[in-house]
Every structure is written in structure tokens, then in C-alpha cells.
Structure 1
Amino acid sequence: YFGTYLGALLYTDRASLLFTREGLNIVRPLMTGGATSMYCGSAAPPPAWLKSDYGIDLDTFAQETIDELSIAPLPADLRGEASTRIAEAAASIGLEWQPQPKFMSPARSPNFDCGAHCMLGCRCRAKWSANEYLDEAVAAGCQLLTQAKVERVLIENGCAAGVQGTLAGGIPLEVRAEVVVLAAGGIGSPLILQNSGLREAGHGLAMDSTVMVYGVSEFEGIGHEPPMTYGYEDLESGYMLSTLIDPWLLYPLITALKGLRYPLTWPRWNRTLGVMIKVTDEVAGQIFAEHDISKPITERDQARFDRAIEVSRRILVRAGCAPDTIFVTPIRGTHPSATVRIGEMLDQDLQTRVRNLYVCDASTFPRALGRPTVLTIISLAKRLSKHLLTNVLSETPAERHAIQTEVGKEKTTW
């Protein structure tokens, strides 16, 4: 079912019907590869403030990944005529959209076929996903347990000692380990930490909150073109724009959340142009439980949306859309993140206050990125791997025992 509409429902939390208390829709893939199994394949460099404000330099790791995975914009002839028209319309009002770097190599596919359905999962194999890293790890001798749910970290004498959870059918699972790295995502990792006694996890989160602005033109729309082939960032105003539309069968479901008359625009999907707005939102709200999440839109967030929506309307009109066809979708949460923040719950090495318990995913971000997150997460993972290999796993058993003994003497309350 991978790459189909049915698969998109089967592989996501609550069949893609996960909502915050405020009504933000969150699509949360629960499968190997995580969000990279259902993303748009877009890449952006780690933000400069990670280095300047938090002392975390990811430049070398990001460039290594770019070279390793051949991250680059698609060739001009594959970026899409309608998408290019949107970028040219933006340029006409002084906004220089750039070709978006992609985790996508058409040469890998015997039949490159990319469109809005890319978000359901890549069936033509042109798009990279983290499953490729998993395949390499298994080939190197790692054991992969699927359909497993980790519920808590085992903590003994102030040190991580493994994890507990369940396998399919509710079979108890316990894995012992001297080092634990959580990578369950912006929602999953804080829930595991909460269950492990680190109650402050999940207090505040970012979402890179997103809307689509749609308009209908006389030309063919962007639905059959690769998603997000062009992008634009306004760092001062706190938003990103790109070319994007919801997949054909999901379009009426998403637009119905705005009102019953909006799915009536579905027959015009083939002529619809879309501009995605992603704002760098403020950390707010809380993860109370697995399906109980609060993420309010703050005044600053709304002001950023208002500014970006006005710009997007101008672009779509310039691109040939009739002004009376333009509308904005409800806000959705696309990148649950900043729930186990560096500088608060984590040190520069991504370690919690529990020795040898690390976190490495979007939950570690100190604040919203407001841009594609995958390259930053990979870079953090490479940096953490280097730290573990150099400074942690190189310790002898005697050294580790001595450290654990000293930690165990400390008065710690969980």
C-alpha cells in the first residue's frame, strides 16, 4: 500500500486525523523512515543560529550529506511549467525564488513520475528516505525490530540502562543498553521521556505551522509536477514560501475543514496553483498525552501568516489566477519539534540529565526552523555519532563502571 491513498491512512497516526486541541491537523507517519517516507524531499541547510547562539556547528556534516546523497535542485525541465510560472510571477514583484534543493535524483528511477502524490510515499524510487540508512545498518549487522513501541527508558543509578515497551500483540519488550538514543520524533520522544520521569519534556512545541493558498488559472496546475521545486525565505518576516498542492484525493478532505463549499473547487484541481506558507512559529502549548496536544497560534504567528498570505495572493494573481478563486486552507502542523530543546533539556551533545540518554530528532531544536528539517536532523545525527564513537563508546568497561558508580552516589529524584 506504500505510496497510495490507503497507505497514507494506514501508516499515519489516527489515519492522518490527529488534531491539536486548537484544531491543527498533524500528519505523523508511524513507520520505518519516519517522516522521510512521506515528505516532499526538500532540503535546506541548518540555520546559522544553531552555531551562533548554541555553539553547534553542523556545516561540515551538512556538506558531507549533500555530497553523499547528491542533494541538488531538480533540472530546470523537471521543475514544472506551472511551478516555474509561480516563481517567475514572484520575481516580477521583487521576490527572487530559488530552485529548491531536493533529496531526489531522477536518475535513480526507471520511470520518474513525481507529482503531488509524492507526499503519499515515493513509488518511483527517485526520492531518498531514511530507510536507506536502516538498510545499511541491518546489512552491517544491526537488528531492527519493527512494530515495536518504546514506552519508557530504563534508568539505573542515574544512567540509561535500556528501554521497555511492547511488540505487536502486546508482547512485552525490554532491551538492555549502556547508551540509549531516542529518535521517535517531536511527539514520540517527549512522551517516552515523560514516562521515564523527565516530566518537563513536551512543555512547549513548535510546528512550522503551514497553510496553502490556492487559486485557479486557465492553464494546467501544479498537481502533476514535483512538489516544492522552488522556494523563498523571508527570514526577517519569519516565513517560507514554496510551490505545493495537496494530492488529488486528499484535496477535498483538507478543504472541507475550511467549510462545505470549498470541496466544490475539487473539479478545478487540475488547473489549481498553490503556494505553501510555512511560518517560523513561536514555541507554545504542550504535549499532554499521545493524542492530547495543544499548540496555540500566537499573535506573532498570525501576523506572519497575514503578511505571507497577502504576498501569496499577489503572486498567484500575477501567475494567472482569478482573484475570486483564491482561498487559504486551515492551518496545519507540519513539523512537530522543539519539545526536548537544546539548551534546556539537552546539552550541546544532545544528552539529557540522565547520563548516556540522548535524543536526536526534531524534538531537539531550540526553536522552530521554519524550513525543511531533514538535512539538519541528519547533520545532528552525524555529529552525535562522532561524539559517541570518540568520547563514549571508546570508554573501557571499567571506566564506564566507575562513572556509573559516581553518578549513582549523587542524590537524584525522578
Structure 2
Amino acid sequence: MNYSNKENYFDAIIVGSGTCGATIAKELSSKHKNVLILERGGNDPLKESLMAYAKISNEVPVAGKLKDMRAFTTGGSTAMYLAVADLPPVDTFKNLGIDLTEDLEEACKELPISEISDNFIGAQAKKLGESARALGYDWKKKLMLVDQSKFDNKNFYEVKWKARTFVDSALRDGATLITQATVSKVIHDNKKAIGVEYTIGKKKEVFKAYGEKIVLAAGSLATPVILRESGIKNVVSHGFYINPSIGLIGSIRGLSSAENFCGCMGAKVDDEIELMDANFHRFLFNVGMLVSAKPLRIAAYPRHVGITVKVKEPVGGELTADGKFNKKLTDNDHRKLEKGLGVARQILENAGAGKIFKTELISGGALGTLKIKEHVDEKLQTEYEGLYVCDGSILPENDRVTPTFTLVCLAKYLSRHLAATL
């Protein structure tokens, strides 16, 4: 079928404007490709406030009562993330037929990725690091996506890189953005993807857009559902992983700290347990205390120190017939969490912390729902010609890196191949 005479025909339709969708849109638009971006959320200015977060946040159960949080807004979950970054596992992807070398080099030049300067690390984080190293743990700085050249010791939120900047670049180069657009399925003809169906807001009217290439970058919680509704039934056939995490927060008498970039340091206890600095800047700390039903601690912010414990759990679980994710943590998973909490408590107490309490267990994201070389090929194309996936769905289970920077590199990789064939 030929839809090239339609006004709503595009070189590429990108479902989702998060890290991958924004990157692909920017790359293709800069090469004069006609791009449509469909975003489920809105495009209101980003702010770090309770009202703003409540408006864009959405929780999805992934393991019993354990939920994963995502953001419905232009730029996706980078509107709410900590900006912690890991380099992509280049060798793992190379073994899967995906060479990210060129894309990693380009992303490092383009994004503000570096360790946080000592001048911008508060006494809380420094105290924690000193305690951990004194106990023999290799507590060291993490990479972060933060533009430190613009930091004024107050604008923690504003200096974090956000995918929305890439969307803005794509729009300047002629891309089209439709917000409040929920994609239900991909339109295909003889196993060739030719378009998508979507609704806008709460209206029931179904819209259609057609394109040469369709990219699902809706996130690991949405993309598998869209694929299944589009006729691809073997998604989530191996389960997924969530990296369950829990925190310990304590108070050190006499400590007086400035604010911090949360997650700027950490260490591995072993191959399956990782500890991360959980010294939030004041706004996020206040939110955390409210969520933890500890409002009286808000006034004592400068004395508080925290550690997040994150563990690897086996891939498993399912996407049920009604489109819900379901997984159970094992007894061994809980033992790893308890072991990590024991080490975290030891570090906190060695730093002089008391009044220690445990936060709620959270999900680190339902990732790896699709497998490269099974659900998508080395060009990230599905069994439908012209239909690609690029988001946390395809992250390998072996190297569980903090995903944002890896996703930028993957999106650049896919963009190169798409641009060469359009």
C-alpha cells in the first residue's frame, strides 16, 4: 500500500519522547527527515515541585505491591530522575552484533557526563564515603549527567540533562510533536509496519498516522503491550528484571551539610548487591520524608545521611493476558536485600548515625522485556519490517547499568541505520 500522498505520512514515527525517542527524533530531524513524535503526556514546563511531580508521575505494579514509576511528559522519565549514569556495556552489545563505539564517543562529546566536583559534594555524602572506605569498601564517584558549569549550589534540578532538550532541538529542525497521544497498536500490511493508531487525551476518536519507519520508544512498560496488541505475541517470553531497591536513612548529631547530588557515589558489595549514596538535595529529601511518614525529620535535613541498596534478581515474571506485569521476588532476593541493608547499616553507624529507619522497597524499572536476536535483530528491527524498538525493553540482563546514557547511545546507533535507509 502506498500512503505517500497522505498529509499524515512521515519518514519516521516515534512513539515516546523519552531518552531514546528524543534522541532519535533529534538525529533524524537534523538530517532533514520528516519526523512525527507521539507523546502520551503533556508538554507543560518542567518544574521540581510536589504538584508538578504528581501531575506527570504514573505508577505501574510489577511485582505484587511493588510498583515502578514513570513520567508522562515530553522527555519522559528524565523529568524526574537522579541523573546518575553508567557507560554502556560495549562488549556485551558487540557480542550481540551491535557496535556502539562510534555512538559512545559522540554521546560523550554531546552530553554533560562526568563525576561531580568535590566542591559540589556536601558534608553528608563526604561523611558517608569516609565511613565506607574506612570499612574497606571501594566507595567512589559515579558519573552523572549534570552540567556543572551552570550549577549555582541551588539549581540541582535545572542542571540535570533532560531528554526534552533533544525534543526541542528536533522541533526546531521541523519535527512534529503530538502530546496526550496514546498509541494502541501498530498498523501493518503483510508483516510490514506502515503506521500507528492512537487516541488523544480522553477522547475516543482513533487517529492514524503513516510512516516509512516506526520506532517504539514508549518504555519497557508500554512497548511490549503495544507489540502484543499489534499481533506480536511472544513478547516478555523470558520475563524481565526490576533491580529491587531499598534505603536506610539515619541522623548524625552535630552534622551540618549543604545539599547534594543524590547518587554521586557508591560501591559494590558483590556482583549482585550495590550500594549508592542516598543523600538527596532538600526538595527530594522532603518528598521522601513525607512518603515515609517521617515529616518531623524535614526540619533536621542537614543531619541526615542515607544509603540505597540495590540487588540483582533473576529474570522472570510475565505480561498477563490483560496487559499487566507480574513477578515474585524469591527468598534469595530478600536475603540479598537484607545482606545489603546490613552493610549499609554498618557504614551508617560507623559514620555516627543513629535513629536509622528503612524506606519502602521500590522497583528499579521493569527492564529487559525483549531480547536482542530473538524479539529484535541487531538493527533493533522486530519481525515486522520497518518496526523498531529502542528503549529499556531491550537492555540485556547481564550488565545492569543505570540505563539513561546507554539508551542515548543505542538511540544514536539506531538513528544512524535509519538515516542510511530513509
Q: Matched residues in 2 for 1:245 and 1:150: separation?
A: 38
Instruction: Indicate if the aligned counterparts of 1:206 and 1:368 stay in contact, CA closer than 8 A.
Output: no
Q: Matched residues in 2 for 1:94 and 1:19: separation?
A: 37
Q: Which residue of 2 aligns with 1:354?
A: 384
Aligned to 2:188, the other structure's residue is in SS state: strand
Instruction: Indicate if the aligned counterparts of 1:213 and 1:274 stay in contact, CA closer than 8 A.
Output: yes
Matches within 5 A, 1:134-149: 134-149=167-182
Q: Which residue of 2 aligns with 1:33?
A: 75
Q: Which residue of 2 aligns with 1:344?
A: 374
For residue 268 of structure 1, report the CA deviation from its aligned partner: 4.7
Q: Which residue of 2 aligns with 1:225?
A: 260
| Aligned partner (choices 243, 265, 273) of residue 239 of structure 1 | 273
Aligned to 1:25, the other structure's residue is in SS state: strand
Q: Matched residues in 2 for 1:48 and 1:58: separation?
A: 6
Q: Structure 2: 5+ residue runs without aligned partners?
A: 1-45
Instruction: Indicate if the aligned counterparts of 1:280 and 1:369 stay in contact, CA closer than 8 A.
Output: no
Q: Deviations over 1:156-207 (max 9, x none)?
A: 1111111101112424221101210100001011111111111222341212
Q: Which moved more, 1:158-167 or 1:298-307?
A: 298-307
Aligned to 2:115, the other structure's residue is in SS state: coil
| Aligned partner (choices 392, 396, 402) of residue 372 of structure 1 | 402
Residue type at the aligned position of 1:239:
I
Q: Which residue of 2 aligns with 1:102?
A: 144
Instruction: Indicate if the aligned counterparts of 2:241 and 2:315 stay in contact, CA closer than 8 A.
Output: yes
Change (3 A) 1:291 1:226: farther
Aligned to 1:232, the other structure's residue is in SS state: strand
TM-score, normalisation: structure 2: 0.81
Aligned to 2:177, the other structure's residue is in SS state: coil
Change (3 A) 1:217 1:163: same
Change (3 A) 1:343 1:328: farther
- Which is bigger in relative contact order (C-alpha 8 A, separation at least 6)? 2
Matched, 1:8 2:53: yes
Aligned to 1:161, the other structure's residue is in SS state: strand
For residue 149 of structure 1, report the CA deviation from its aligned partner: 0.8
Q: Matched residues in 1 for 2:348 and 2:222: separation?
A: 37
Q: Deviations over 1:62-119 (max 9, x none)?
A: 232122113111211101111011111111111122222111113235x4415xxx6x
Residue type at the aligned position of 1:370:
R
Instruction: Indicate if the aligned counterparts of 2:220 and 2:392 stay in contact, CA closer than 8 A.
Output: yes
Change (3 A) 1:47 1:298: farther
| Aligned partner (choices 77, 83, 89) of residue 119 of structure 2 | 77
Matched, 1:93 2:132: no
Q: Matched residues in 2 for 1:287 and 1:221: separation?
A: 47
Residue type at the aligned position of 1:127:
K
Instruction: Indicate if the aligned counterparts of 2:185 and 2:229 stay in contact, CA closer than 8 A.
Output: yes
Matched, 1:195 2:229: yes
Q: Matched residues in 1 for 2:317 and 2:236: separation?
A: 9
Matched, 1:184 2:223: no
| Aligned partner (choices 251, 271, 292) of residue 303 of structure 2 | 271
Instruction: Indicate if the aligned counterparts of 1:181 and 1:359 stay in contact, CA closer than 8 A.
Output: yes
Instruction: Indicate if the aligned counterparts of 1:70 and 1:103 stay in contact, CA closer than 8 A.
Output: yes
For residue 372 of structure 1, report the CA deviation from its aligned partner: 1.4
Q: Matched residues in 2 for 1:74 and 1:336: separation?
A: 28
Q: Deviations over 1:268-324 (max 9, x none)?
A: 5542211112222222212337883313213443333233222211111122212xx
Change (3 A) 1:42 1:212: same
Instruction: Indicate if the aligned counterparts of 2:254 and 2:303 stay in contact, CA closer than 8 A.
Output: yes
| Aligned partner (choices 310, 314, 319) of residue 342 of structure 2 | 310
Residue-pair matches, total: 372
For residue 381 of structure 1, report the CA deviation from its aligned partner: 0.6
Q: Deviations over 1:10-33 (max 9, x none)?
A: 1011xx5x4345111321111111
Taking only the aligned residue pairs, the percentage that are identical comes to 27
Aligned to 2:170, the other structure's residue is in SS state: helix
Instruction: Indicate if the aligned counterparts of 1:282 and 1:368 stay in contact, CA closer than 8 A.
Output: no
Aligned to 1:342, the other structure's residue is in SS state: coil
TM-score, normalisation: structure 1: 0.83
Q: Matched residues in 1 for 2:215 and 2:208: separation?
A: 15
For residue 263 of structure 1, report the CA deviation from its aligned partner: 6.3
Matched, 1:173 2:207: yes
Aligned to 1:274, the other structure's residue is in SS state: strand
Q: Deviations over 1:233-281 (max 9, x none)?
A: 35x532322111562443244325xxxxx66766655422111122222
Residue type at the aligned position of 2:108:
I
Q: Which residue of 2 aligns with 1:23?
A: 65
Matched, 1:255 2:296: no
Aligned to 1:339, the other structure's residue is in SS state: coil
Instruction: Indicate if the aligned counterparts of 1:191 and 1:290 stay in contact, CA closer than 8 A.
Output: no
Q: Which moved more, 1:343-352 or 1:52-61?
A: 52-61
For residue 351 of structure 1, report the CA deviation from its aligned partner: 1.1
Q: Matched residues in 2 for 1:90 and 1:341: separation?
A: 37
Change (3 A) 1:343 1:146: same
Residue type at the aligned position of 2:232:
L
| Aligned partner (choices 281, 284, 297) of residue 329 of structure 2 | 297
Q: Which residue of 2 aligns with 1:113?
A: 154
Change (3 A) 1:298 1:49: farther
Q: Which residue of 1 aligns with 2:41?
A: none
Say what the alpha-carbon RMSD is for the aligned residues.
Answer: 2.4
Instruction: Indicate if the aligned counterparts of 1:212 and 1:328 stay in contact, CA closer than 8 A.
Output: yes
Q: Matched residues in 1 for 2:99 and 2:393: separation?
A: 18
Q: Which residue of 2 aligns with 1:259?
A: none
Instruction: Indicate if the aligned counterparts of 2:220 and 2:366 stay in contact, CA closer than 8 A.
Output: yes
